[in-house]
């Protein structure tokens, strides 16, 4: 078998690090800020991440995150675009070899309010000099009044934007905390994100590929795994619903499924796991409740 010839690799990370949740004025604890800084450093060192997109970050915490990445190798930007009544909570840390061509908010007016659909970040990668459009989202939680209606509007607005990009043969990666599961109609119908690779390849201008279905169920034998955990991305204690949910996901245009050009590497796509993260998520004293999610693409 011939070895895989790579003409470049890019690792993307998305993490809702929960330091500055929307509409919460509480200042994050020093221990949580220090943990996030150390975890971002660990992610960079262990995965050689090229692009890290963060949510629940505002100016309150952003300046401190400069300690997490080598300033000679990485740049960082706070993409806190404002709406009439709110503000985006997205930030990006990226290697200096990457070039940001565009960063703009996608907003949808719903019932007189402005819904934060996504931040579009168009980058130019350093290997083939091709643009890749990233749509980074943080959609309303179930605690938000009418959250399902709002998320449905967000998915529809994002789908329209993506279809315009697909018509122009854009390479598209969506990532975010969608506060809804992969199987929900919001994701599978309104956004047309599916785990069926065949359908995505067959109808590339309609479907997006969602590999995060694999996090819905444990793949380890619980009796033999000594309490190891391998499902879900978000932890919340509850007696009324599962403690673990797969809210953090990434979706890909068909251009990443053809094993030609930029291609998704399945074994490096999923949840970024670290034992210290699992411990932190389960702490009653910590506001951090999400694992990062990751993907690697390789030019073939």
Residue 177: name the closest of 95, 241, 236 by CA. 236
Reported pTM = 0.94
pLDDT digits (tens, 9 = 90+) for 110-169: 888 899 999 999 999 999 999 999 999 999 998 888 899 999 999 999 999 999 999 999
CA distance 60 to 49: 24
Residue 250: CB partners within 8 Å, gap ≥ 6?
12, 14, 173, 174, 175, 210, 211, 212, 269, 293, 295
pLDDT at 225: 45
Q: For residue 263, give both structure tokens.
A: 């291609």
Letter string b/e over residues 216-249, b meaning 16 or more CB atoms within 10 A of that residue's CB:
beeeeeeeeeeeebebbbbbbeeeeeeebbbbbb
Backbone phi and psi for residue 34, each to the nearest 5 degrees, phi listed first: -65, -35
Name the DSSP letter for residue 292. -
pLDDT digits (tens, 9 = 90+) for 67-105: 899 999 999 999 999 988 889 999 999 999 999 999 999
For position 113, what pLDDT does the model report? Answer: 82
| pLDDT above 90 as % of the chain | 72
For residue 5, pLDDT over 70 is answered with: no
SS3 at position 66: helix
Quick: pLDDT tens for 281-291.
888 889 999 99
Rounded Cα distance between 54 and 290, Å, is: 11
């Amino acid at each position: 078998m011939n070895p895989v010839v790579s003409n470049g690799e890019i690792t993307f990370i998305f993490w809702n690090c929960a330091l500055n949740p929307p509409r919460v004025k509480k200042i994050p604890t020093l221990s949580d800020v220090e943990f996030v800084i150390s975890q971002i450093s660990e992610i960079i060192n262990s995965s050689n991440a090229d692009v890290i997109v963060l949510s629940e970050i505002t100016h309150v915490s952003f300046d401190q995150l400069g300690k997490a990445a080598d300033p000679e190798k990485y740049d960082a930007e706070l993409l806190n675009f404002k709406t009439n009544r709110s503000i985006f909570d997205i930030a990006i840390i990226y290697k200096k070899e990457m070039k940001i061509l565009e960063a703009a908010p996608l907003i949808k007016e719903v019932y007189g309010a402005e819904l934060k659909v996504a931040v579009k970040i168009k980058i130019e990668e350093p290997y083939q000099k091709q643009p890749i459009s990233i749509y980074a989202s943080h959609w309303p939680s179930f605690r938000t009044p009418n959250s399902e209606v709002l998320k449905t509007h967000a998915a529809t607005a994002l789908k329209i934007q993506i279809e315009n990009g697909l018509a122009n043969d854009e390479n598209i990666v969506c990532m975010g905390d969608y506060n809804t599961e992969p199987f929900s109609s919001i994701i599978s119908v309104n956004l047309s994100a599916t785990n069926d690779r065949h359908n995505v390849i067959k109808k590339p201008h309609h479907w997006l590929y969602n590999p995060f279905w694999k996090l819905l169920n444990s793949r380890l034998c619980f009796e033999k795994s000594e309490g190891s955990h391998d499902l879900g991305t978000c932890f919340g204690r509850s007696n009324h619903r599962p403690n673990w949910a797969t809210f953090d996901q990434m979706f890909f245009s068909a251009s990443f499924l053809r094993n030609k050009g930029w291609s998704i590497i399945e074994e490096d796509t999923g949840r970024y796991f670290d034992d210290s993260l699992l411990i932190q998520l389960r702490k009653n004293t910590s506001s951090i409740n999400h694992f990062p999610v990751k993907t690697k693409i390789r030019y073939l």
